[in-house]
Amino acid sequence: MRLVIIGGGISGLSLAYFLLEQKPLLDIVVLESEKKAGGKIWTDKTGGFLCEGGVNGFLDNRPKTLELVSRLSLTPLRSNDNARKRFIFSEGKLHRLPESPPAFFASNLLSLAGRLRIIWEIFAAKGSGDDETLADFAKRRLGKEVFEKLIDPMASGIFAGDPEKMSLKSCFAKVYNLEQTHGSLIRGMIKLRKEAKKTGKKVGAGPGGVLTSFYDGMGTMIGSLSDFLAERLKTGASAVSIDRKGDSYIVYLSDGSGIEAETVVCATPAFATSEMVKVIDKSLSSSLNEIYYPTISVVCLGYKRERINLSLDGFGFLIPFREGKKILGTLWDSSIFPNRAPEGYVLLRSMLGGARRSELAEQDEGKLISLVMAELNDIMGIKAEPDFAKVYRHPKGIPQYPVGHQERLSEIDKLTSKFKGFYITGNAYRGIGVNDCIENSYKLAERIIKEI
């Protein structure tokens, strides 16, 4: 039987790998519309700099990704200790994010009232269990100041999202479950730490783990998966629609040709999948099209190290929305991983756009570079012209999970289940990160093997 996977990002590539690992003789074709596979994983080596145009790495706390890396015989590269030093730009200066409760209460990032308000969290009433926005949850449990200075920039940094709309249950399930199980985040953490002492496992309400990549960037993983698939991976092959033919499907390509298959998996962005399924189910197409993708732009700037007076001993910084800045934050990439900049140079990587300022990321490259330079001058005191500049734009960049996302997924699952041999996967549904995509691909591969 033939199985067609549409989409050569990490979801589609890892799904093909897991399927072939279990059934090596399976007739699989992976279709990728771009000339190179990888989707939002896009490593660019230019001018002596190694720029990640999209995904910067993955956290080493999820076994499926590490297992895949091992099976591909790749050597993961953990970020250095600088990655633990993270900063928030607040009230005109950079504040190091405290890493422990004592450091947190000694920090001047929050006012005394804001720090004391956190202690009151243990007495806050437990939520009803209904879905609520991240903003409502954070203000209810931790107070407005903690939300504005800590939670808000975190939401921008991970999801490029608007916490006033983001679903807590869909975006931060661990936090949601912590409150529902223990009634309080503080009480929950205390209980988890007690259990951790017995089991030896690390615990936390956040994602945890160490940021990990490869010496030659995240593209290393894509290259290895592409090599594994070899002729099964067809780049420059754009699928435009899917139709039924008895118990099979026909995937039509932009050149007018068609591929018949008993099983089809759409591992494309939701808006692309929406277009492809219009012929077979307009309701499914409509539900998929409701998933919002704001534009994101990444601006990489390289400088001679001597031209920057600020210590770059850290991961970088995020910016609360209340500060009124135009960038979401900046990562000091050459401080996090080696081989990101030539000797004597540094590489800074800034993000713009997202759910609240999508239009900013849509400006031409010259304006984006000038905008980032002005922001870095104000925040980091960098007055020098960069020696290197590169812009990576992602129209419809990161899918958003607003309140009601779970209900939308239920509807999509219901509509999809009507079609035997048809599946949908990708970062628009159950996790936006590399780890989520790989884990979901593994689960889907298990399911497909049982059902074919």
Q: Whole-number mean pLDDT of the chain? A: 95
Given this model, what pLDDT does residue 200 score?
A: 64
Enumerate domains of the chain plus CATH numbers. 2-41+62-68+218-292+401-451 (3.50.50.60), 110-199 (1.10.3110.10), 294-394 (3.90.660.20)
pLDDT at site 204: 53
Of 256, 314, 249, 309, residue with least CA distance to 277? 249
- Which of 430, 429, 294 lies closest to 354, judged by CA? 294
Quote the pLDDT of residue 205. Answer: 52
For 227-264, how does the pLDDT look when each residue is reduced to its tens digit (9 = 90+)?
A: 999 999 999 999 999 999 999 999 999 999 999 999 99
Q: Is residue 258 within a helix (H) or strand (E), and if so which, with residue range?
A: strand 258-261
- Tell me which residues of the chain have a pLDDT lower than 50: none
Question: Tokens 């000694």, residue?
Answer: 106
Find residue 300's DSSP bridge partners: 349, 390
pLDDT of residue 79: 94
- Among 403, 334, 328, 327, smallest CA distance to 368 is for 327
Bridge partners, residue 331, by sequence: 316, 349
Q: Residue 161 in contact with residue 334, Cβ under 8 Å? A: no
Contact indicator for 347, 51 with CB cutoff of 8 Å: yes
Residue 393: per-residue pLDDT: 96
Cα 288 to Cα 279: distance, rounded to the nearest angstrom: 14
Report the amino acid identity of residue 188: G
Residue with tokens 């799904």: 15
Q: What are phi and psi of 421, to 5 degrees?
A: 80, 15
Contact 8, 31 (CB under 8 A): yes
Task: Give residue 107's pLDDT.
Answer: 84
Would you put residue 193 in left (φ > 0), alpha (ψ -120 to 50) or beta? Answer: alpha
pLDDT at 103: 79
Q: Where are the beta strands (DSSP E) in 169-238?
A: 211-213, 233-235
Q: How far, in whole angstroms, is CA 56 from its chain's centroid?
A: 9
pLDDT in tens, 110-151: 999 999 999 999 999 999 999 999 999 999 999 999 999 999
* Contacts of 403 by beta carbon, 8 Å cutoff, 6+ apart: 131, 132, 133, 165, 166, 167
